[in-house]
Amino acid sequence: MTITDTYNYLMRIRRIEWTIKRLTLEHDELQTCLLPSAIRYDKDVVQTSPEDTLSAITSKVLELEARIRAMNELKADTITELGKAIGQLQNQMEGTVLTAYYIRRMTMEQVSEQIGKSLQHSYRLRKRGVAHLAQLI
């Protein structure tokens, strides 16, 4: 596996989280459409189409909930898979940095504080860890 492929492999968790966030925002927006109106100015029916939009919105909300659950399961499986791959590294410090950054989603500043090394050294450990992981996968 190339270095670029390895970075893409490690970034899968973040891409899944971005998708979950986008789906959650869409779900929440649609769910607010299901709430009853707070103010009614008149009794005239505003809707002109004969279709029932409430049931269409409800089915879309349920579909989004199912997709979010599936993405959360995929995220859990991906975390397990990445954890096993990172666990194969010989250098435990590199593994710690990769786990903290890619799985626990810590910033590099937080990672350097956790391992007690400088920020530059933490970046070097991450780079070497990715290179070693590319050789293993």
Reduced 3-state DSSP string for 39-91: CCCCCCCCCCCCCCHHHHHHHHHHHHHHHHHHHHHHHHHHHHHHHHHHHCCCC
Compute the distance between CA of residue 49 and CA of residue 83 in angstroms, rounded to an integer.
52
Rounded distance between C-alpha atoms, residue 14 and residue 10, angstroms: 8
Query: Dihedral angle at the C-alpha atoms of 121, 127, 129, 132, nearest 10 degrees?
Result: -140
Name the residue ranges covered by the structural domains of the chain: 3-36+53-136
Provide the residue-wise pLDDT of the chain in tens; the chain has 137 residues: 899 999 999 999 999 999 999 999 999 998 888 776 545 555 555 555 555 677 888 899 999 999 999 999 999 999 999 999 999 999 999 999 999 999 999 999 999 999 999 999 999 999 999 999 999 88
